[in-house]
């Protein structure tokens, strides 16, 4: 299981692709082929950048599609490369990788390549539940990884045999086998462009699992594009910024990253206009309420700010959960 290629998936975001490729240059890689797959768009800027990019760790190949495939077909077409490679590391252009991502991917692939229970390997570790925006921290064990029936699209490894099992299932059942996820709110919101919902449905339907690291080897910048209507930062997960292999270092930052308070301030920072508008309205009503209840003047400013932040925090939870379109999420 030495023949593992790195595949980057691009469309029309040259800055995103540049950021990803530069993170690959900083990684601990001895020798690995790089494939840059570009879907047809209304610009050739991405193709020019890809052709000019110098890859010092082995062969580089640029695939340019003559017709626009769309996100789902483009991603699924990557699986055809497994006719030539034992495994592929799939990275969409708005991903950044940690220095040790390749060593982890190779080690995990070697360990799980013959395990029929495994549908793929994730490089990403969720800091929170993306359906509810609640904090998520996997229970720790003496092992280096954990397992979930959730396929990954923010940095993942597909192995030849496990991918073929999924793709055979997809070809036979893609029109009538989403019933197992149809009652899950966020999946119902994903449109026809989504390929990931099929991979998740496969894991649930066929009782397969993705391997997850406790610390992320990739993170999602969520640049504005096909699925995201505005730039988001909430999906970024702290990277395992170490080249040491098969070690997990638990830091204070890892512990606090997914706390509700931190998620609130991340949300507030990315939705400043909404926060300012809500603050003005809430402050007005708080001031009226304090006047009505005759709150002492010396306590007025202090208490008003406490009430303001508490109300903003509650509203942020309600908006993220029930009105995500207001902040550009689907």
Higher pLDDT, 205 or 124: 124
Last residue of a domain, one of 258, 278, 295: 258
| CA angle 255–259–261, rounded 5-degree value | 135
pTM of the entire predicted model: 0.69
Please check whether residue 111 is in contact with residue 246, taking contact to mean a CB–CB distance below 8 angstroms. Answer: no
Residues 128 and 247 in one domain: yes
Residue 94 backbone dihedrals phi, psi, to 5 degrees = -95, 25
Same domain, 223 and 268: no
pLDDT of residue 320: 67
Distance of alpha carbon 298 from its chain centroid, rounded?
47
Q: Which residue has the higher pLDDT, 330 or 148?
A: 148
Name the residue among 125, 118, 88, 93 with its Cα closest to residue 105.
88
123 CB-near residues (< 8 Å, 6+ apart): 89, 97, 101, 104, 105, 152, 154, 155, 156, 157, 213, 216, 217, 218
The span from the CA of 248 to the CA of 213, in Å, is 9
Position 64 scores a pLDDT of 96
Task: Give the whole-angstrom CA distance, residue 14 versus residue 8.
Answer: 12
Higher pLDDT, 78 or 295: 78
Contact predicate 243/99, CB 8 Å: yes
Quick one: 276 and 252 in the same domain?
no
Same domain? 222 vs 310: no
Residues β-bridged to residue 63: 37
List the single range of 64-68, 132-136, 152-156, 239-243 with lowest mean pLDDT: 239-243
The domain total for the chain is 2
Q: Is the pLDDT of residue 276 over 60?
A: yes
Pairing, β 60-64 against β 34-38: parallel
Confidence of residue 205 (pLDDT cuts 50, 70, 90): confident
Are 32 and 88 within one domain?
A: yes
pLDDT digits (tens, 9 = 90+) for 116-169: 999 999 999 988 777 777 888 888 888 889 999 999 999 999 999 999 999 999
Determine the pLDDT at residue 325.
63
39 pLDDT tier (thresholds 50, 70, 90): very high
**Cα gap 279→315, rounded to integer Å:** 11
Looking at the predicted structure, is the pLDDT value of residue 246 above 50? no
Q: Inter-axis angle of helices 260-270 and 300-322, to 10 degrees?
A: 90
Instruction: Indicate whether 247 and 278 sit together in one domain.
Output: no
Which of 57, 58, 62, 56 minimizes the C-alpha distance to 17? 62
d(CA 116, CA 114): 6
Q: Which of 203, 232, 258 is the last residue of a domain?
A: 258
Q: Which two tokens stand for residue 256?
A: 């606090």
Best mean pLDDT range from 21-30, 197-206, 220-229, 264-273: 21-30
- pLDDT reported for residue 269: 59
pLDDT of residue 282: 83
Q: What is the predicted pLDDT for the residue at 261?
A: 59
Of 258, 285, 315, which residue is a domain's last?
258
Lowest mean pLDDT, pick from 46-60, 64-78, 163-177, 228-242: 228-242
Q: Please, what is the average pLDDT of the chain? A: 82
Dist. CA 166–CA 164, nearest whole Å: 5
Q: Are residues 162 and 241 in the same domain?
A: yes
Return the H-helix or E-strand segment holding 213: strand 209-213
Residue range of the domain that includes 294: 263-327
Q: What is the tens place of the pLDDT at every residue in 99-109?
A: 999 999 999 99
d(CA 85, CA 166): 17
In this predicted structure, the answer to whether residue 229 has a pLDDT above a threshold of 60 is no
123 and 35 housed in the same domain: yes
> What pLDDT does residue 293 have?
77
pLDDT confidence bin for 257, thresholds 50/70/90: very low
Q: How many helices (H) and strands (E) are present in the chain, helices listed first?
A: 11, 12
Asked whether the predicted pLDDT for residue 202 surpasses 80, the reply is yes
Residue 209 region by backbone torsions, left for phi larger than 0, else alpha for psi between -120 and 50, else beta = beta
Distance CA 299, CA 210 (A): 54
Long-range contacts of 291-297, Cβ-Cβ distance < 8 Å, separation of 24 or more: none
Query: Which CATH number characterizes residue 107's domain?
Result: 3.90.550.10
| pLDDT of 323 above 60 | yes
């Amino acid at each position: 299981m030495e023949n593992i290629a790195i595949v980057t998936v691009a469309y029309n975001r040259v800055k995103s692709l540049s950021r990803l490729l530069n993170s690959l240059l900083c990684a601990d890689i001895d020798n690995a082929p790089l494939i840059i797959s570009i879907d047809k768009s209304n610009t050739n800027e991405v193709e020019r950048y890809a052709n000019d990019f110098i890859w010092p760790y082995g062969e580089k190949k640029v695939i340019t599609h003559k017709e626009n495939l769309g996100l789902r077909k483009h991603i699924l077409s990557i699986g055809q490369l497994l006719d030539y490679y034992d495994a592929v590391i799939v990275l969409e252009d708005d991903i950044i990788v940690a220095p040790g991502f390749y060593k982890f991917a190779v080690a995990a692939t070697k360990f799980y390549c013959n395990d029929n229970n495994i549908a793929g390997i994730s490089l990403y570790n969720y800091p929170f539940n993306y359906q509810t925006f609640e904090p998520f921290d996997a229970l720790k064990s003496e092992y280096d990884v954990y397992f979930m029936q959730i396929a990954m699209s923010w940095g993942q490894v597909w192995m030849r045999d496990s991918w073929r099992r999924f793709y055979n299932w997809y070809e036979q059942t893609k029109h009538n086998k989403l019933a197992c996820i149809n009652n899950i709110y966020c999946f119902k919101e994903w449109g026809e462009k989504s390929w990931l919902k099929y991979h998740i449905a496969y894991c649930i339907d066929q009782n397969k699992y993705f391997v997850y690291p406790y610390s992320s080897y990739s993170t999602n910048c969520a640049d504005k594009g096909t699925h995201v209507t505005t730039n988001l930062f909430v999906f970024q997960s702290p990277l395992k910024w170490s080249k040491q292999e098969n070690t997990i270092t638990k830091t204070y930052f890892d512990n606090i990253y997914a706390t509700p308070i931190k998620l609130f301030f991340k949300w507030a920072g990315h939705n400043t206009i909404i926060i300012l508008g809500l603050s003005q309205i809430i402050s007005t009503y708080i001031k009226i309420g304090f006047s009505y209840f005759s709150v002492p003047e010396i306590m007025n400013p202090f208490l008003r700010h406490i009430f303001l932040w508490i109300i903003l925090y509650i509203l942020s939870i309600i908006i993220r959960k029930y009105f995500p379109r207001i902040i550009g999420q689907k």
